[in-house]
Amino acid sequence: MNDDMPDSRGAAPDAKRRRLLKQALGTVGALGVPLIAGRGVAAEAGDNQAPNVPEWMRSQGKPILSPAYGVPSTFEKDVVRTPTDLTTTKTSSWSFTPLQALEGSITPNGLVFERHHGGVPTIDPEQHQLMLHGLVERPLIFDMAQLRRFPQVSIKRFLECSGNTLTEWEKPTGKTVQDTHGLLSCCEWTGVPLATLLREAGVKDKAKWILAEGADASALTRSIPMDKALDDALVVYAQNGEALRPEQGYPLRLILPGFEGNMQVKWLRRLEVGDAPFMTREETSKYTDLMPSGKARQFTFVMDAKSVITAPSGGQNLAGKGFYEIRGLAWSGRGRIKRVDVSVDGGRNWQQAELDGPVQPKCLTRFRLPWRWKGDSVLLQSRAVDDTGYVQPTREQLVSVRGTNYVYHLNAIQTWEVSSSGEVSNVHV
Amino acid sequence: MSTSRILLLSLILGWTVGATAEVQPEAGEYGLGDPASEAEIAGWDIDVPPSGAGLPAGSGTAAQGEAVYNAQCAACHGPEGKDGAYPRLSGGQGTLASDKPVKTVGSYWPYATTLYDYIHRAMPFTAPQSLSADDTYAVTAYVLYINGIIDRDTTLDADTLAGIVMPNRDGFISPDPRPDVHNTACMDHCDERANGASGSAERKPDDGVPTM
């Protein structure tokens, strides 16, 4: 047991801490993530604080429908997706979810990370079609109205790009958890099981793979193994209760729980059943993992167990000694998160964190651990264990087997260093 | 007659008109979806797997493709597939096991059919699916030519493309060998137990595994 771990809440803030809070929020404001919900934060707002009556209580607020489709508070304007600087074009590119600003396990639709290969198409749902053909008894075309008539399922599942964290193989590069882990989101997806559609068309005996194709300018295609298609694959038209967002595949996309994001084809227009993988560009020249030998692993679909601390995390500032709750996310493409351990000394000693339940398979799981910062430099880490018994590895362990040109599937333990001044930064240990 | 029976009947009739098979397949459990006609499928079925199935009529050579490449592709991919702002297409053979691997069509791509497929479906970037079949064969030939894989006058068509053996054809490993790294959930004084790591990595050979 580490003696930095308190079992009770911190004391009330003193004057010094208030000053620190002001300084900290001035710095952290750009992230939109005040680490501390303290009192007496903004000096110029004093007129609205005790014992005065706040101005927002002395007149009517905005009417209903302001606006008709609600948006976040203007004070949350910095909680947005951020772009990568690694691509030449912004249509074949990606953007990151601000994990440091989110709570719970569900990602708001407007903050779900993006990965497009030919931009976001504007598709009229009344004209959209899904073709299902190949090794089937009855080649079919579905329109959206027909797809919505099938028995419906809704499940919460994470979505992670296999390139998530790819800048971190050799040296710490991303400043924030948005930079390092932001190609990760989790939604409640609603649609029809792919198995239902396959039964409707009648799959032939020789069928082993399914080509999924998008209706975007890249006509992105991936080969899906039949056992996955029949297991838990979904063809979905809604996320978090509303229609898919355009950048998430409106009006229709594939969801393959636990598999790499690239396979979960957006703007889904065609499914071709075949007896072998189709060897598309995405599954040969991209999304393959180069080993030190010069050979590359192919069809590495599952996202292995991974976790990351989102608070405190890179770019944030601790406002002073005292109580904090260490919070983070854990997930596994192979099943449920069984346990998350947290270390505040760079991996020497670990403590089991509390999981927010019910823990669902292939779903983001929030973990929390109470912590009292003494003001010294510390190294924060989290380590996920899933229900297969797999333990999230260190970066050194992964590199020792895979080298550093692997690109994808980096699921190493992340380290955040808290300096004695309270600054949090991304480090390798 | 109930609505569902009318729907079912119309589905079966619709299928009969569009199908060439003598045996009428039964409708699915829910009777949803319309039969896809051969013409509808032909218009959308654009993929080209390694067998070459689905390749259209037409042909082209690198000599013909050079002009198409310079007009349609070079602005992004650079002259002869190098030095562009977008993915490099040529060279890099022999670099995959080095510290700085260069992945190109010539050094990395296992199938020439994928090149035709991808050029047709997604290129040119600003006008996908705009090249004719002849031009697509010709550009495919040119990209293979600048990688030293075919001659300048080799004709690519539906019969010859699938027969091209790419240099890195056997460069891929499957099935997935993961989990390949095995950490242990050490809880106390872990640095004293395993030289600073909290577990051990097992190096598995990545050669000798059958490729697909």
Interface predicted TM-score of the whole assembly (ipTM), two decimals:
0.88
CB contact under 8 A, B189 and A348: yes
A131, A199, A300 member nearest B36 (Cβ): A131
A83: Cβ contacts below 8 Å, ≥ 6 apart: A90, A93, A94, A95, A96
Strand pairing class (A153-160; A351-352): unpaired
B109, B182, B203 member nearest A285 (Cβ): B109
pLDDT at A25 over 80: no
Touching check for B188 and chain A: CB below 8 Å? yes
B119-148 pLDDT, tens digit per residue, is: 999 999 999 999 999 999 999 999 999 999
A103-137 pLDDT, tens digit per residue, is: 999 999 999 999 999 999 999 999 999 999 999 99
pLDDT at A87 over 90: yes
Positive or negative, the CA dihedral A19, A21, A23, A25 is negative
Question: A134 and A274 in contact (C-beta within 8 Å)?
Answer: yes
CB contact under 8 A, A290 and B49: no
pLDDT at A2 over 70: no
From the list B158, B159, B160, B124, the residue with the least C-alpha distance to B139 is B124
Give the per-residue pLDDT at B27.
79
The residue type of A117 is: H
Question: A224 and A210 in contact (C-beta within 8 Å)?
Answer: yes
Q: How far apart are CA A92 and CA A118, in angstroms?
A: 5
Residues of chain A positioned with their CB less than 8 A from the CB of B199: 391, 393-394, 397
Alpha helices (runs of H) in A202-248, residue ranges in sequence order: 226-231
B39: Cβ contacts below 8 Å, ≥ 6 apart: none
What are the DSSP calls for A20-64, one per residue? HHHHHHHHHGGGT--S---SS--GGGGGGSTTSPPGGGSS----S
Higher per-residue pLDDT: A21 or A217 = A217
pLDDT confidence tier of residue B77, bands split at 50, 70 and 90:
very high
Coil, helix or strand at residue A235: strand
pTM equals 0.88
Residues of chain A positioned with their CB less than 8 A from the CB of B109: 284-285
Residues of chain A positioned with their CB less than 8 A from the CB of B111: 279, 284
Q: Which of A135, A138, A301 to mutate to test the interface with B (most CBs of B within 10 A)?
A: A138
A221-256 pLDDT, tens digit per residue, is: 999 999 999 999 999 999 999 999 999 999 999 999
pLDDT at A45 over 80: no
DSSP A218: T
Coil, helix or strand at residue A95: strand
A334-353 pLDDT, tens digit per residue, is: 999 999 999 999 999 999 99
From the list A39, A44, A70, A69, the residue with the least C-alpha distance to A55 is A44
A347-402 pLDDT, tens digit per residue, is: 999 999 999 999 999 999 999 999 999 999 999 999 999 999 999 999 999 999 99
Q: Which of A281, A379, A413 to mutate to test the interface with B (most CBs of B within 10 A)?
A: A281
Enumerate residues 102 to 141 of chain B having a beta carbon within 8 A of any beta carbon in chain A.
Answer: 103, 105, 108-111, 113-114, 117-118, 121-122, 125, 128-129
A284, A394, A401 member nearest B109 (Cβ): A284
Is omega for the bond preceding A370 within 30 degrees of 0, making it cis?
A: no
Question: A113 and A98 in contact (C-beta within 8 Å)?
Answer: no
From the list A115, A296, A217, the residue with the least C-alpha distance to B118 is A217
pLDDT at B26 over 50: yes
B50, B173, B212 member nearest A296 (Cβ): B173
> What is the nearest CA distance from B194 to chain A, expressed in angstroms?
10
From the list A118, A119, A101, the residue with the least C-alpha distance to A110 is A101
B197: Cβ contacts below 8 Å, ≥ 6 apart: A394, A396, A397, B190
A129-149 pLDDT, tens digit per residue, is: 999 999 999 999 999 999 999
Q: How far apart are CA A19 and CA A38, in angstroms?
A: 11
Residue of A nearest to B174 (CA): A298
What are the DSSP calls for B59-125, one per residue? EE-HHHHHHHHHHHTHHHH-GGG-S-SS---S--TT-TTSSS----TTTT--BHHHHHHHHHHH-ST
pLDDT at B112 over 70: yes
Query: Beta partners for B158?
Result: none
Give the per-residue pLDDT at A8.
37
Residue B30 tokens read as 């829910």
Q: How far apart are CA B79 and CA A224, in angstroms?
A: 36
CB contact under 8 A, A294 and B46: no
Higher per-residue pLDDT: B8 or B211 = B8
CA dist A30 → A77, A79, A186, A257, B151 (Å): 9, 9, 24, 34, 57
As a whole number, the mean pLDDT across chain A is 92
Q: Tell me the mean pLDDT in the region A155-175.
A: 98
B179-201 pLDDT, tens digit per residue, is: 999 999 999 999 875 544 444 44
Query: Beta partners for A211?
Result: A223, A272
Give the per-residue pLDDT at B191.
81
Higher per-residue pLDDT: B209 or A297 = A297
Query: Beta partners for A382?
Result: A342
pLDDT confidence tier of residue A61, bands split at 50, 70 and 90:
very high
Number of inter-chain CB pairs under 8 A, A vs B: 223
Share of chain A above pLDDT 70, in %: 90
Residues of chain B positioned with their CB less than 8 A from the CB of A291: 173, 206
From the list A392, A379, A416, A421, the residue with the least C-alpha distance to A4 is A379
Q: Which of A95-99, A394-398, B15-19, B77-81 has the lowest mean pLDDT?
A: B15-19
* Number of C-beta neighbours around residue A403 at 10 A: 18
Cα-Cα-Cα-Cα dihedral of A361, A363, A369, A373, to 10°?
A: 150
Q: How far apart are CA B65 and CA B89, in angstroms?
A: 15
Question: B180 and B156 in contact (C-beta within 8 Å)?
Answer: no
Residues of chain A positioned with their CB less than 8 A from the CB of B103: 285, 290
Higher per-residue pLDDT: A314 or A26 = A314
CA dist B169 → B79, B108, B207 (Å): 25, 8, 14
